[in-house]
Amino acid sequence: MPKTAGKFRSFIGSWYFILPFSILFFLFLIGIGNFGIHIFEQWNQSGPLELSNTNSAPTFTISSDYFFQYAYADHPGYYKVIYFIAICISLNVGYRIRSNLGTLLKGLKSGGAFEAMKELKKQYIMVPEAGTKFPGEGGMPIARFAYWTKRTVTIFGKQLTILWLTYRLLVDNSNTNTMLLGTTRSGKFVYFFSYYIDNLSRALLLKDRPSFVTSDLKGEIIVAFKALLEARGYDVHALNLIDLKLSMFYNPLQKVIDAYIAGEYDEAQKECATIAKILYSEEGDTKNKYFTNSAQHLFSALVLAICDKAINVTRNINIADGKIEPLTDLSKEIVIRGDKGDRVLLTYPNGTHQQIDFLLSETKHIPLEEKLQKEQTFTFQFVDRETGEVETFNVPVFETHIETITLYGVYMLIRKLGTSSSKVEIVRTVNGEKIPDEKQALEYYFEQFDDHHPAGNQFAQSEFGSSDSKGDVFSTTVEKLSQFSLGANGRVTSKNSLDFENIGFGDRPVALFLLIPESDKSNNMLASIAIKQVYQANINRANKTPGRKCKRKIYFMLDEAGNLIRIEDLDTMMTMGLGANMIFTLGLQEIIQLEKVYGAQDAETIRGACGNTVYLKSSLGKTNKSISEELGTYEYESKSRSGQTFSLDKHKSESVDDRPLMRPEELALLRKGEMVIYRTMKREDNKGKDITPRPIFIHGKNRILPSYKRLKNWISIKGKSLQTIGLPEEVGKVDLEAITPTDYIPYAKQMHANRPYFPDSFFQSSWENQSPTTFFSEAQRKQIQTLLEKEPNLDIEQNQHLLNPSTMEGFLDNWKLLKQQQFLSDKVYSLILAWIEQGIEASKREEAS
């Protein structure tokens, strides 16, 4: 920052100088006037001076006391004139000093400035720099201050109190999102994240220690902090995408499973959609987006289909004419339906008995205290109310197969049923004659679901049945799922080690580290899905809690956030999460990383949600320019001179100019430990007084020292690695065969045979299920092709997936859609519609006969 021109001169022109100077000058003028009055009074008393008589000349007495001896009562008129003249002269002199020597800075061009260090102490709290626990909560590190404390020492047997120099950390413990900008090796960990995690975990009370969700490139943070955090009462977990053998278990489909078990099918579909959007990001041209969108729907259909088979194992089981609901290892209650006067004797697997009397015709729900096991059997004895006869039913506990609801299971399902060679033999009825035929296995499987079933609904939207798009949709879906066919990936995602709700509502703080490899990004979407699901699980729980906040704060510290796969709805998470005690810190190398991953519009929203932007260093001009513009400008006085080179009488002039608080090139030259903080949300100090959130420049003695110097006694990576810090080694013990779903086609046939919502003629060739190839005659098909080629507004190649659906029901829907989009003329649309109506009538006549 340039020095202001004429600082001493500006001081003379300031009110700090002019006011006292004007008062003193006024008093000086009054003193002169008072002296003159005394002289004039002596003159008056002595009479006129006669030059011829020198002996009678008057005698004058001059004394310094005349300046201070006032005779206002004797000469009030004279004094009023003197006061008036003195005031006028003093004001004139003060004005001339102010106008000629006063500062030209009026704040008209700019009013920017960095916040003074002494003011920061009034705005933020200070905590011990290292080691010592403290009451209250920690926060984002800002600056380092020297702090004198009293300490009692014993010297020669005497206790003395001395002043001891310590250092404190200035931290922001408000609910504010932060963006950290620092290029490679700029010190994001040693100057920021290390102090951040350390001081947050040093809160005196366990309830004040927040939970962390931390992305950890190369695994250095967990290596440094695992032992320390465990000693401070944390449950430490690691989703280790660097070395999957040393990872916790994480099944991204767990929330889908929970929703499906609870019967919340809409919520299950939402969870599927969230995972699908991260797995299949919508990028590329329109055609690729179409296949990506279809793959998302097909993925959701596969997940929901596996849930249906794994959880609804009792779908087709009828016990005691429906009087007893089948029991599974997921059952939390026994459901019995009885008529008035019925009596049921229930024997539990452990031999205990219970008598249930029905005073009314009703359904009774008997809660179960323990989880049921598949080997257990319940005995129900129904006593006839009239004859006393006893009918006994031994009801086994049926085993569900939740362990098969995994990404590995989804891949195995589509691999077994989705290829073109996977066929199922069926029988079609044409003109009353049963004709053997075959159908693609995956299509057949999903046709068995009710139209309103979530799996069937998602499959219909995937357009997998379209003959032209089938291969592309299949390959797009399998491409992303194939990585979960790998043994390590399949095992890691087979179950869960951590209930995400415990991160915000558990009795102990949780530290979840997401270990990201530097080179292989194939599994990075698991980290993005986990971040989204942690947020969703805790925001849902918070919305059901008084105050709508998490019991424990959650800090999402996403170092190298630009290397993560796009986190769905991150902009919304950051704007809405603060109110629920979920705080985000994004570590980026450059701003452009954010735009590349999230697009310009969402990136702008994310930046706007960050109340703090911490700048360490950047080598990219665009980033430096952006930060420089955000910091703003300030006014300064510039001085110029003109004249001959060696002249001592040059013409000088002064003017006001403005410049950035820090130019881009100055930002690029910041030294180690220096940082610039641009803040927008800090608008009151520690006492609640309003303040202006000016930017902060941390430099000099207030710079934060690197953690390898100040925190070396508590955290260190020396001699440690991921293999030596005690990470779990359970992943390798998972049997993939046990989590592989099987028997889908037999299940589909059984499901169809027992579904009350489909007619027995489902397999018959009703017009909706006929393909356009069999529905239209050969002549009609040729004419349709000719008419479509002549349509000026229709791009046949681009809309091929709409023109070639697998069923006539799909053809009719697509035909109407093309008309709504004005791709078809009225004449062509009406002609084909008439052919369809004629075909429908012919089909109905055949079925009636």
**Residue 230 near residue 162, CB atoms below 8 Å:** no
Count CB neighbours of 409 within 10 A.
Answer: 27
**pLDDT tens, residue by residue, 647-697:** 667 676 777 777 899 999 999 999 999 999 999 999 999 999 999 999 999
**Residue 509 near residue 235, CB atoms below 8 Å:** yes
> Which residue from 624, 632, 623, 631 is spatially nearest to 594, judged by alpha carbons?
623
User: At 789, which helix (H) or strand (E)?
Assistant: helix 778-789
**pLDDT tens, residue by residue, 612-652:** 999 999 989 999 999 999 999 888 777 777 777 666 676 76
d(CA 703, CA 367): 62
Where does residue 845 rank: exposed (0-12), middle (13-18), buried (19+ CB within 10 A)? Answer: exposed
**pLDDT tens, residue by residue, 260-307:** 888 888 899 999 999 999 998 765 444 577 888 889 999 999 999 999
**Residue 94 near residue 12, CB atoms below 8 Å:** no
- pTM here is 0.76
Q: Which residues of 333-342 are buried (b: 16+ CB within 10 A; e: fewer)?
A: ebebbbeeeb
Q: Is the dihedral angle over the CA atoms 798, 801, 802, 804 positive or is it negative?
A: positive
Beta-bridge partners for 377: 396
Please identify every stretch of the chain with a pLDDT value under 50, giving residue numbers as ranges: 1-2, 49-52, 284-286, 756-765
Q: Please give the pLDDT value at position 148.
A: 86
Query: Architecture of 170-250+496-642+652-710 per CATH?
Result: 3-Layer(aba) Sandwich (3.40)
Q: Please give the pLDDT value at position 762.
A: 32
Q: Is 229 left (phi over 0), alpha (psi -120 to 50) or beta?
A: alpha
The segment(s) of the chain belonging to CATH 2.60.40.3580 are 323-399
User: At 68, which helix (H) or strand (E)?
Assistant: none
Q: Which residues of 545-555 are buried (b: 16+ CB within 10 A; e: fewer)?
A: eeeebbbbbbb
**Residue 245 near residue 239, CB atoms below 8 Å:** no
* β-strands 333-338, 362-367 pairing: antiparallel
323-399 has which fold?
Immunoglobulin-like (2.60.40)
Instruction: Identify the three-state secondary structure at position 639.
Output: strand
Q: Please give the pLDDT value at position 417.
A: 86
Structure tokens at 92: 């004139």
**Residue 494 near residue 193, CB atoms below 8 Å:** no
Q: Which residues contact 684 (CB under 8 A, 6 or more apart)?
A: 690, 691
d(CA 223, CA 226): 6
Q: Which residues contact 271 (CB under 8 A, 6 or more apart)?
A: 253, 255, 256, 259, 536
